[in-house]
Structure 1
Amino acid sequence: MSGTLVRGVCAVAVAGAVLAPGPAGAVPGPPDGEPSVAGLLAELRGLYRRAEEATEAYNATAEELRERRAQAETLAGELAAARGSLYGSRMAAGRLAREQYRGHSDLSPYLRLLLARDPQHALDQGHVVLRAARNRMAAVDRLTGDEQKADALATKARAALDERMRLAAAQQRDRDAVRGRLAEVEELLASLTPGQLAELSRLEEAGTAVAQRAFMASGALSSVGRAPSKAGGEAVAYALRQIGKPYVWGAEGPESFDCSGLTSQAWAHAGRKIPRTSQQQWASLPKVPMDRLRPGDLVVYFPKATHVALYLGKGQVVQAPRPGARVKVSPIAANPVLGAVRPDPEAKAMTGYRPPPLPRGATAGDDTGNDDG
């Protein structure tokens, strides 16, 4: 991506007072006809936010498509087994038909009994014939059942294939939407001067600092440090090992991540499967009050739950911020907080927990983005 991506996370948004320069220390007004730096920052945030929404839509479609593929493979296996059983039933039915044809007689069982030299033997033979008849009926029933089962599975398999094709088309549309949004970001950044980029970075850093101070002063977070569960501690350790890896939309590691790719993989490596996207994580995982946060919990951002990070403790999160940035440790209030969820609410907190040391450069430098010239 060309241009220097300004420092920020996904679609960083702070209070309007932070965005709008005040009388004291205000950013110099732009020449006539040019947007203000604050206006450019607001526009950039909007573009990043829409890109993140498109990314999560892409991820949700990709996850559903993956599940449908697994279902289709299961159906294909069941259909193959049903057709094999049906083939066997048809072969058995054919043998019975041939045997019945060869053993056909115009005499009724009663006449055969009267004419028999040994009536008792004829009666015993009758029991054998009756048992054979029952076996033939059972074979016919199996044939009928196998035909019905194969037909039903074939119908399901065709429906699954149709659904896969629909989802694949939707995934392509979502992918194109993400690329379009990111192209808008790149176009805006390419149009800015070095001075505007530097001012954008300064204004964004100042806004994040103000938002973090206000969030911590509000008492939303408990002043008591909490310990994670065993799995939560493992998720934190995994996420910290990914620091410095680039954000790539739709990525789940191991070389790159998007925001929910990082959180879902962190918990997967801790032994617990959670939904793939931030919106699914917010919708399906148990909510936890902010003043009860413990390391490993997921902090979800924006009204549509389009961004997520992993809580570290002491007002910090580890996250994959946005395209052009790298996995890093950030203030919890770098984005507008929607709430938090806990993947393992039933698990007890660890005793004697010691937070892992942060890798060098975890909180600075890696969030600036890249410059490909």
Structure 2
Amino acid sequence: MSGTFLRLAGAAAVAAQAVLAPVPCVAAPAPQRSVSQLLTDLQQLYRQTEQATETYNATAEKLQRQRARVSRLDGQLARARLALQDSRADAGRLARQQYQSSTGLGPYVRLLLARDPQHALDEGHVIGELARERARTVSRLTVTEQQKDALARAARKALDTQLALADRQKKQRDHVRSRLGDVERLLASLTSGQLAAIARLEQQGVARAQQRLTTSGALGDRPASPAGDRAVRYAMAQLGKPYAWGAQGPSAYDCSGLTSRAWEHAGTPIPRTSQEQWQRLTRVPLKQLRPGDLVVYFPEATHVAMYVGHGRVVQAPRPGERVRISPLASYPVLGAVRPDAPAPRAR
């Protein structure tokens, strides 16, 4: 952890020293904050950043689905327009035929004047069938017109939704960048001694939380399923790759990008974000944990890691860090979910 803080702050600290050259008038120093207060501030900023990242990821997923829907509707609308052209052509052909064969005499008059009434009746049957065909053509034309209009309205609405999602995604991206800037500014304001003290304090807190978890008997360690084993092996192969918000690999990951990609590789696609993983996957008690299960953190479910056994998880922790193995209690645990749990039986 100390290496992380030092890496994040390094470049910013150099720039800060260049800017803070001696000047004739020096402002009064700000009140000194304790190490514990600084750690609290940093943890809060990281949490806000990850929450903003997961919100951005959720919108990105919706935008991707919406783009697919717009494309599908555009295809359906194009086919409906072609069908409408065919229906109009059929209606026009029948209208011309009716005009060309019109005699001005009704069917009953033609029957009375016919020399061969039976022939006239047979001819009337054919004429009746042609009339029914005309009716079907007109009905088909009407239905196709309605379908085309409905698809055109749906396509316009879907495109409007896509544009709204794209605008929301841009605002959320800017919010993530703003949160990251807050983290960087705070780190750049700290000395190397403060950074080291913050890292030690955080490590001590994690060690205590991990000790409480392991001695409470609440943590289990069951064998992995075949799919869980594949997911773990994929996640472990990503060790050392950098955290990047919104990333799903293969060169970088955010927290849920790592877990969703690992389970996709294992043959079990799961939701993209940590919130959706918590909401939609089967929850399991920590006592029943097995490798491949996902551990979700914070009350808002804004962070997720993958259990690998023996009280450890593999995770993409936060900006400035790399995919690594960590104690399960690195953050406040909300609960755990199992991506390959069998679907509940219908009653």
TM-score by length of 2: 0.89
Could you give the per-residue CA deviations for residues 136-182 of structure 1, whole angstroms, max 9, x where no partner exists? 00001100000111111111111101111111111011101100000
Query: 5 Å matches for 1:300-319?
Result: 300-319=296-315
Number of corresponding residues: 321
Decide which moves more: 195-204 or 108-117.
108-117
Structure 1 unaligned spans of 5+: 8-30, 348-373
Alpha-carbon displacement from aligned partner over 1:38-75 (angstroms, at most 9, x marks no partner): 11111000000000110010001111111111111111
Q: 1:202 aligns with which of 194, 200, 203?
A: 200
Equivalent residue in structure 2 for 1:63, among 61, 64, 68: 61
| CA deviation profile, 1:24-50 (whole Å, cap 9, x unmatched) | xxxxxxx99211111111100000000
How far apart are the structure 2 equivalents of 1:256 and 1:299? Answer: 20
| Aligned counterpart for 2:288 among listed residues 285, 292, 296 | 292
C-alpha change, 1:58 and 1:32, in structure 2 (3 Å) is closer
Counterpart position of 1:329: 325
Instruction: Give the Cα–Cα distance (whole angstroms) in 1 for the partners of residues 92 and 225 of structure 2.
Output: 64
Residue identity over aligned pairs, in percent, reads 60
Q: Does 1:341 align with 2:340?
A: no
Higher helix share: 2
Cα offset, 1:4, TM superposition: 6.6
Corresponding residue SS for 1:128: helix
> Where does structure 1 differ by over 3 angstroms across 4 or more consecutive aligned residues?
none
Distance in 1 (CA, whole Å) between partners of 2:59 and 2:319 is 20
Opposite residue 123 of structure 1, the aligned amino acid is: L
Native 8 Å contact 1:5 1:189 kept in 2: no
Correspondence for 2:5: 6
Q: Is the 8 A contact 1:308 1:319 kept in 2?
A: yes
State how far apart, in whole Å, the 2-side matches of 1:83 and 1:233 are: 51
Aligned partner (choices 240, 260, 266) of residue 270 of structure 1: 266
> RMSD of aligned C-alpha atoms?
1.7
User: In 2, Cα distance between the equivalents of 1:150 and 1:4?
Assistant: 62
Q: Which runs of 5+ in 2 are unaligned?
A: 7-28
Q: Is the 8 A contact 1:299 1:341 kept in 2?
A: yes
Alignment of 1:1-373 (within 5 A): 5-6=4-5, 33-222=31-220, 225-346=221-342
Tell me, what secondary structure is at the counterpart of 1:111? helix
CA distance in 2, matches of 1:123, 1:227: 84
Per-residue CA shift, 1:297-333, capped at 9, x if unaligned? 1000001000000110110000000011111110000
CA contact (8 A) 1:4 1:189 kept: no
Question: C-alpha separation between the residues in 1 aligned to 2:318 and 2:207?
Answer: 19
Q: CA deviation at 1:117?
A: 3.0
Aligned counterparts of 1:170 and 1:133: Cα–Cα separation in 2: 56
